[in-house]
Structure 1
Amino acid sequence: MKNTLLKSIALLAITLAFTSCSDDDNAVNNVSGTGTIGIEFDNSFAGNDLILNTQPNTTSNGEVLKISTIKYIVSNIVLIKADGSVFTYPKSESYFIVDEANANTHVLNLSNVPAGDYTKIKFGIGVDQEQFNLGASGQGDFLALAQAADMLWSWSAGYKFLAFEGTFTSPTVTTATPFMVHTGQTGTDYNYTEITLDMPSKALVRNTITPVVHIVADLSEIIDGTNKIKLSDNNMGGMGAMIMGGANLPLITANLNSMFRIDHVHND
């Protein structure tokens, strides 16, 4: 009797496992309809998870930064399938602000995405010139969102594409001194850039599977990437180091192209 009971339990466990695997296979193979995908942005500095205000972050130039603010506009999201076909997220819905201080902004949830196996993502940092040229009335709800988030200098001056702020010290600046790095339109330089990233594994968008693409942003790349920018060289005395234009801004914009990488993809 005991052996019969054990055999029955084992058979039931095998049956349940087989059924579960079959259900999982059906979910993965049912490539139809639409689903949702999350794009998560996780800020770091040179391999360390970012902690605002208190964490000392050292650059290759020996400058030590304590970051109080990091915000950037993510826009014009495009998802690319393994076969090369492209899904462009609706432009009117494709403007977001990622703010380290606001956890609710860290994951961008994209809905009504065609089911498929996606292997690349492309997105902009900033607001593209075509959108800006629509004028204030053509910005929809995003203009008010940017104003509330302090990501707009003024309508005539345009959006802040990235706001990177805090204090720093250096071998020549020994007292904690404010710094501000803001990218955006300055003179003839528009400073909008687009980034394309390969996914380490496929994002399986299904009506029963909501993948999350985990993107790590290395903030050290802003001033310590291919182009090395010293905050101490931009120190304006009592005002601190202010980089909001000039020759450094296109160099910083170029650095943003290596600021992001995809760490992993969850398919849950």
Structure 2
Amino acid sequence: MKSIYKIFTVTLILSVFASCSSDDDDGSTELMGENSVTLEFDNSVGSDDLLLATSSYTNSQNETLTITRLNYIVSNFSLTNDAGEVFTYDKDDSYFVTSEETGSTEVVLENIPAGTYVSVTFGIGVDQEKYLQGAEGQGDFLTVAEETNMMWSWQAGYKFLNFEGTFTSETVTEATDFKVHMGSHGSSLDNYKEVTLSLGTDALVSDEMSPIIHLVADANAILDGENKLSLTEQSVIMVSEEKSPKVALNTASMFSVDHVHNGSEHSH
């Protein structure tokens, strides 16, 4: 009888323990509701912070740049969770200008459903589908682009990238202006690009969790990425069938994820 009593007691304790463990697991892993996801774009040049007009940076072609403007359009955001499901942000609200000049380097995506997100995808520029909706179809973004020097004209289209400053080199000894403006010019020169970045650390979204994804944008890659573009050879790059696509590819490669901050809403 004593042996049977001991076995019964041990079995009961194990059952209670298993039940409690199961309850704890269910409560700790479930993410409910929705919240915002913030993307902070931290502009740099190589390993240095980007400081407009006050610092100089030398590229691999021994050209020394003083940067006075770095603006670019980011758009069409989507987030992929740990189950491979993609949440696509509302297209009408998915166009933003990040500007080092104005300090507008934060993108806030509202009403993201709860989940564990492992990657982010976004475009650089404005896609043809959006542009072909006409001026009326752009909503408030058209005004934002005009106010931040991201339009040539409505007919000529958006500037996806506005990168300006002065430079010197071995043969250009006096400070000379440079301008790199990249966009799409009709279907024959569509420079809109998309990039997908693994977050490294999962971004957790719930009623109580509003993550901040810190991205680094390396301006050095614009001219000194996979495609090497010399300002000494050409200091103004705008509508160029040869060089604009190379700028677009370089620009798409300048983004990386630095870290993810998971915390309550508005905490950094």
TM-score (norm 1): 0.86
1:26 shift after superposition: 9.1
* Deviation readout 1:170-215 (Å, 9 max, x if unpaired): 1110100000000002352121100000011000011101100000
After superposition, give the CA deviation of every residue in 1:238-267 in whole Å (9 maximum; x if it has no partner).
xxx210021111011111221000000000
Label 1:167 to 1:137 Cα distance change in 2 as closer, same or farther (>3 A): same
Give the aligned partner of residue 205 of structure 2. Answer: 205
Which residue number in structure 2 is paired with residue 11 of structure 1? none
Matched, 1:242 2:236: yes
Q: Given that residues 125 and 160 in structure 2 are in contact (C-alpha distance below 8 angstroms), is that contact kept between their aligned partners in structure 1?
A: yes
Q: 1:250 to 1:28 in 2, by over 3 A?
A: farther
Q: Which runs of 5+ in 1 are unaligned?
A: 1-24, 235-240
Counterpart position of 1:80: 80
Distance 2:50 2:239 in 1: 26
1:120 aligns with 2:158: no
Partner residue of 1:254 out of 249, 254, 258: 249
Q: Which residue of 2 aligns with 1:157?
A: 156
The number of aligned residues is 237
Instruction: Find out whether 1:147 has 2:146 as its counterpart.
Output: yes
Deviation at 1:27, TM superposition (A): 8.7
Residue matched to 2:19 = none
1:232 match: secondary structure: coil
* 1:128-158 residue CA offsets vs partner (Å, 9 max, x unmatched): 0000000111111111111111111000000
Which of 250, 253, 258 aligns to 1:263? It is 258
Structure with max Cα Rg: 2
Find the counterpart in structure 1 of residue 135 from structure 2: 136
TM-aligned CA deviation for residue 106 of structure 1: 1.3
Alignment-derived partner of residue 62 in structure 1: 62
CA distance in 2, matches of 1:33, 1:180: 46
Matches for 1:207-222 after TM superposition, within 5 Å: 207-222=207-222
Determine if the alignment matches structure 1 residue 47 to structure 2 residue 53: no
**Separation (CA, whole Å) in 2 of partners of 1:77 and 1:194:** 10
Paired residues of 1:71 and 1:164 also in contact (CA < 8 A): yes
Report whether the alignment pairs 1:31 with 2:31: yes
- The alignment yields a C-alpha RMSD, in angstroms, of 1.4
Distance verdict in 2 for CA 1:27–1:126, change over 3 Å: farther
Paired AA for residue 37 in structure 2: I
After superposition, where does 1:86-105 map in structure 2 within 5 Å? 86-103=86-103, 105=104
Q: Please give the per-residue CA displacement for 1:30-66, whole angstroms capped at 9, x wherever unaligned.
A: 4121111101100000111111102111110000000
Unpaired stretches in structure 2, ≥5 consecutive residues: 1-24, 264-268
Q: Amino acid of the residue matched to residue 100 of structure 1? A: E
Q: SS of the counterpart of 2:116?
A: strand
Structure 1: distance between partners of 2:72 and 2:44: 14
- The answer to whether the 8 A contact 1:28-1:204 is kept is no
User: Which AA in structure 2 matches 1:152?
Assistant: M
Q: Structure 1 CA distance, aligned partners of 2:41 and 2:101?
A: 12
